């Protein structure tokens, strides 16, 4: 497992990679989340959900105001800001847990950081807005770079994922982002076939060649629904299987909806893989 990835500081907290698997709790402040858990514009519901995620064991809260499901439509910067900023301001004032802004728009990320966020999660891997890299460097916050194949064609999925992530890392470091502030995400579900997603998960360990922590997001995703023929709200066991396999293959952070249950999966997997269960 990862033992030489150093330490990343996020929101004043140390993430010592390789010691244990960290959990990123998903907070969708959208009306159209694919998983059916979006809280829309109800700030009090969002705050209550965030508290629940933290109580259940989330190490980071990932807040997104725009759905990333394949058939979703892009929303304006103004609308995205209206959704995420009030929630981030409240959470930053009331909780110590680090907050990640799930956005590929630099203006949204800038306002989020000014409001209390301390990580940028870019599902487009700097291919939509490279200014995110300069922003991460300027503000000294970690940057998650994802491999998104929605606008590309590939022959060999793992090679393409690694090449995409390496390109993003080069852009980030070229903009001044320290290596220790870069996290990579293979982008499960983003423009990949079912077979491609399964292969990425099976060969996740090959991403270790990039020398950065691996974030994995499989929670309730369509590949699980395709294999098990189940809707999003019945994909708990399928998610658990992917989380355990992901940790065995090198995942350092798992992004999940069901923190309580996945915390148990993580502890058990860490006991086997890392020799740690406390």
pLDDT-based confidence at residue 204 (cuts at 50, 70, 90):
very high
Domains annotated on the chain, with CATH? 20-273 (3.20.20.20)
Between 35 and 16, the more confident residue is 16
The pairing of beta strand 215-216 with beta strand 182-185: unpaired
Q: Give residues with Cβ within 8 angstroms of 20, minimum separation 6.
A: 266, 270, 274, 276
Among 148, 143, 145, smallest CA distance to 161 is for 148
pLDDT-based confidence at residue 69 (cuts at 50, 70, 90):
confident
List the structure tokens of 239. 């998610």
- Tell me if 23 sits within 8 A of 266, measured CB to CB: yes
Q: What is the mean pLDDT of the chain?
A: 94
Between 182 and 71, the more confident residue is 182
Q: Could you read off the pLDDT of 178-187 as tens digits, one per residue?
A: 999 999 999 9
Q: Give residues with Cβ within 8 angstroms of 27, minimum separation 6.
A: 39, 46, 49, 50, 53, 61, 62, 63, 64, 87
* Residue written as token pair 């996020």: 10
Average pLDDT over residues 79-84: 96
Average pLDDT over residues 193-214: 98
Considering the candidates 110, 111, 127, 221, report the single residue annotated as catalytic.
221
Let me know if 221 is a catalytic residue: yes
Q: Could you read off the pLDDT of 20-52 as tens digits, one per residue?
A: 999 999 999 988 555 445 566 789 999 999 999
- Tell me if 111 sits within 8 A of 120, measured CB to CB: no
Q: Check whether 1 has a pLDDT greater than 50.
A: no
Distance (Å, whole) CA 158 – CA 95: 38
Considering the candidates 49, 111, 235, 255, report the single residue annotated as catalytic.
255
| Res 152: pLDDT | 86
Q: Whole-structure pTM over 0.85, yes or no?
A: yes
Q: Check whether 273 has a pLDDT greater than 60.
A: yes
| Res 32: pLDDT | 59
């Amino acid at each position: 497992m990862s033992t030489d990835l150093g330490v990343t500081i996020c929101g004043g907290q140390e993430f010592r990679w390789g010691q244990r698997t960290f959990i990123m709790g998903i907070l969708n402040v959208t009306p159209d989340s694919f998983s059916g858990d979006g809280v829309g514009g109800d700030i009090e519901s969002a705050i209550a959900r965030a508290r629940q995620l933290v109580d259940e064991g989330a190490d980071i809260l990932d807040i997104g105001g725009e759905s990333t499901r394949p058939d979703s439509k892009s929303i304006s910067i103004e609308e995205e800001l209206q959704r995420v900023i009030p929630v981030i301001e409240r959470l930053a004032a009331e909780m110590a847990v680090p907050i990640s802004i799930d956005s590929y728009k630099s203006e949204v990320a800038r306002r989020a950081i000014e409001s209390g966020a301390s990580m940028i999660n870019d599902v487009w891997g700097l291919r939509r807005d490279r200014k995110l890299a300069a922003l991460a460097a300027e503000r000294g916050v970690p940057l998650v770079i994802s491999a998104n194949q929605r606008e590309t064609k590939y022959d060999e999925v793992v090679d393409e994922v690694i090449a995409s992530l390496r390109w993003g890392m080069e852009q980030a470091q070229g903009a001044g982002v320290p290596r220790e502030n870069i996290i990579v995400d293979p982008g499960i579900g983003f423009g990949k076939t079912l077979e491609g997603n399964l292969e990425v998960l099976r060969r996740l360990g090959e991403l270790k060649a990039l020398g950065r922590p691996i974030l994995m997001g499989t929670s309730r995703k369509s590949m699980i629904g395709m294999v098990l023929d189940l809707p999003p709200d019945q994909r708990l066991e399928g998610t658990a299987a992917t989380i355990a396999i992901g940790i065995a293959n090198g995942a350092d952070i798992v992004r999940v909806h069901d923190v309580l249950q996945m915390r148990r999966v993580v502890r058990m997997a860490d006991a086997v893989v890392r020799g740690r269960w406390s």
